[in-house]
Structure 1
Amino acid sequence: MSTRVPIIDLTPWFQGSPDGRAAVARAVDAALRETGFLLVTGHGVPEALRADIRAAAKRFFALPRDVKDAYATTVGGRGWLPPGVEANGYAEGTATPPDLKESFAVGARETTGDAAVDGFWFPPNVFPGEVPELRALLEDYLARMRALGDELLRICAAALDLPLDFFTAKTSHPSYTLNLNWYPPLAVTGAPEPGQFRIGPHTDFGTVTILDREPGTGGLQVWGEEDGWVDAPFVPDSFTINTGDLLSRWTGERWKSNRHRVLAPDASAPEEELMSLIFFYETDPGAVIESIPAPLGRVAHPPVRAADYLGAKLAAITVG
């Protein structure tokens, strides 16, 4: 597996010319087959919105611990995920110390009427009263990410010469989560333990992940069989996109769900703090996912219900 992460401009796709859309789809297919990662520009999401979210989120993370405790939750919940509740390396079966981060999570909020489904996949969002502007910013961003997630899935369908709604037919009432991940400086975390990361090595679980990140010494790395761990490229005003396990399974492993990690804070940059906005897109929880057969697909996995598959993945990375 290569660690080459290409940059793809989505402008021709949105402009609608058949040749331009076909070229974007081909480039996406190549990237997801080779690496499982790409950078996209021309996505249409305002940079100012992301900057405003970061500024408001930093005000939240700077609040005293006892104030943030009122919003505390755990993996899969809505609100504040304190330090120590998540260890992504467990997704690979590797026992690692907890990830060196704090998160604030919001997500899909349109309930189904099924209490069991709603309680896990569509719980109410919680917003901090101490930072009231965060609610409108995040609701705006969630709507934009949902729309972009579906558009990426349409591009994925075009990449396989399938009907454009092949994937989105199962995202009429999807689950999704937006994590605001704050990676504190060394002064806050202290020296990392052996094998400890800001986020441990893992793959993502859903269909596509849309990441808005900041560059740093303790930043994102992508795994390659030939190159090992390699720093992911950074382009201002781009999103980093990667395939999740569910989409890889759906395509019969034609597309990679690639390992990645976020390095621990480094002694060479003791004051570095970073913040990532990470949108994890999934499907309707009740959707049954069947692998696309050969010749497009490579591996025929048994059908799986999305909620069962994703729920097991989330449980695996929860500490305690």
Structure 2
Amino acid sequence: MPSNPIPVIDLSPWTAGDRAGRKRLAGQVDRALQATGFLLLTGHGVAPELPGRLRAAAQDLFHLPPPVKARYAQSTDRRGWIGREKVVTARSEGTWTPPDLLEVWSCAADSATRPGQTRRLPDRWPLEVPDLHPLVTEYTERMRSLADTVLEVMATALDQPANLFTRHTTRPNWDFIINWYPAADETGPAAPGQFRIGPHTDFGLITLLDRQPGKGGLQVHDDMNGWQDAPHMPGAITVNIGDLMARWTADRWRSGRHRVLPPSPDAPQEELTSLVYFHACAPDTTITSLPTPTGRTSYPPVRAGDYLRDKMQAIYTTG
């Protein structure tokens, strides 16, 4: 793996609308995703202050007393506050680890149950942090638009119609989580094999990640070189593909394994907050692998909603 395992891609030629610029950009995206399944996206047009405002509101939430946060604990649909010892992400790939060292605020837009309408989950938001709900709404609307643009670039990179993927994302089905990684001073030393987030691949189409750098930060895995620290660029959004996109492209673009390291004893007061947007297609979408020469490995067709449900059920503890 090269010293910078994640290529940097400037999206601005796509929004400029120049045909030659779009073609070059699509080729860059194709090469990046074949190499790592990840890219760092610049020129995306997201207001630079928006992630910081949302992160500040989220930190207000996570620093509330535990009994207060418990009022907004996840319901049966797993939306709301998720406390520690509740998530074991590595289980999604059949690996056992101790529970992940994090807390989560989980929310979603689900239009599957009521045609023509969208239900935003959770139903209850923390009264103690009134800015959280409007900021999440603003941020996820911006991420949804950006994700569709990225999907159009990706379809063009495959020499397919630009709406190959986005015709299945017209209903605003998405998942958004805010991951808070407490400091080592608060969690104590990690258990053997314990991570802030255990090794895994993401499950859906693409993920848009706004992250903070740290000693206990993101690592990506390469079959030849193993685990390496993911590069960070201020203002850039980390994009990676998920399992459903890997299946759709028949492993032309593989879903990259990644993990978040445990808190480092060298930075005992380091706490990090990540904003993670998962773009999803309609649950009834049948994912069928593209044929050769575009694809490499043909997968049996799978219903998107079934695949995502099974993966999500695997990672949550019952305690």
Please give the range of the TM-score, normalised by the shorter of the 2 chains.
over 0.9
| 2:315 counterpart residue number | 317
SS of the residue aligned with 1:108? strand
SS of the residue aligned with 2:71? helix
Percent identity of paired positions between Structure 1 and Structure 2 = 49
The 8 Å contact of residues 200 and 257 in structure 2, kept in 1 or not, is answered as yes
Alignment of 1:128 onto 2:130:
no
1:177 CA drift (Å): 1.0
CA distance in structure 2 between the partners assigned to 1:213 and 1:259 by the alignment: 17
Give 1:71's aligned amino acid: Y
- Relative to structure 1, is the Cα distance of residues 299 and 74 closer, same or farther in structure 2, using a 3 angstrom cutoff? farther
CA distance in structure 2 between the partners assigned to 1:224 and 1:75 by the alignment: 36
The 8 Å contact of residues 107 and 120 in structure 2, kept in 1 or not, is answered as no
CA distance in structure 2 between the partners assigned to 1:125 and 1:161 by the alignment: 41
| 1:143 counterpart residue number | 141
| 2:187 counterpart residue number | 189
| 2:58 counterpart residue number | 57
| 2:167 counterpart residue number | 169
| 1:90 counterpart residue number | 91
Query: Where in structure 1 are there 5+ consecutive unaligned residues?
Result: none
* Residue pairs, 1:153-164, within 5 angstroms: 153-164=151-162
CA distance in structure 1 between the partners assigned to 2:75 and 2:190 by the alignment: 22
Q: Which runs of 4+ in 1 moved over 6 A?
A: none
CA distance in structure 2 between the partners assigned to 1:203 and 1:136 by the alignment: 30
TM-score, normalised by the number of residues in structure 2: 0.95
CA distance in structure 1 between the partners assigned to 2:124 and 2:24 by the alignment: 41
| 1:38 counterpart residue number | 39
1:113 CA drift (Å): 1.9
| 2:105 counterpart residue number | 104
| 2:213 counterpart residue number | 215
Give 1:33's aligned amino acid: Q
1:96-153: per-residue Cα shift (whole Å, max 9, x none)? 1000000101221445427xxx8xx964443211101111111000100111111111
TM-score, normalised by the number of residues in structure 1: 0.95
Give 1:222's aligned amino acid: V
State the aligned residue count.
316
SS of the residue aligned with 2:9? strand
Give 2:114's aligned amino acid: G
The 8 Å contact of residues 56 and 131 in structure 1, kept in 2 or not, is answered as yes
1:310 CA drift (Å): 0.7
1:176 CA drift (Å): 1.2
CA distance in structure 2 between the partners assigned to 1:76 and 1:238 by the alignment: 31
1:1-47: per-residue Cα shift (whole Å, max 9, x none)? 77721000001111010111111111111111110000000111112
| 2:252 counterpart residue number | 254
| 1:295 counterpart residue number | 293
Give 1:258's aligned amino acid: G
SS of the residue aligned with 1:103? strand
CA distance in structure 2 between the partners assigned to 1:98 and 1:47 by the alignment: 33
CA distance in structure 1 between the partners assigned to 2:59 and 2:238 by the alignment: 22
* Residue pairs, 1:225-244, within 5 angstroms: 225-244=223-242
CA distance in structure 2 between the partners assigned to 1:29 and 1:312 by the alignment: 29
CA distance in structure 2 between the partners assigned to 1:310 and 1:102 by the alignment: 21
1:155-186: per-residue Cα shift (whole Å, max 9, x none)? 11000010000111111214211111100001
CA distance in structure 1 between the partners assigned to 2:166 and 2:305 by the alignment: 16
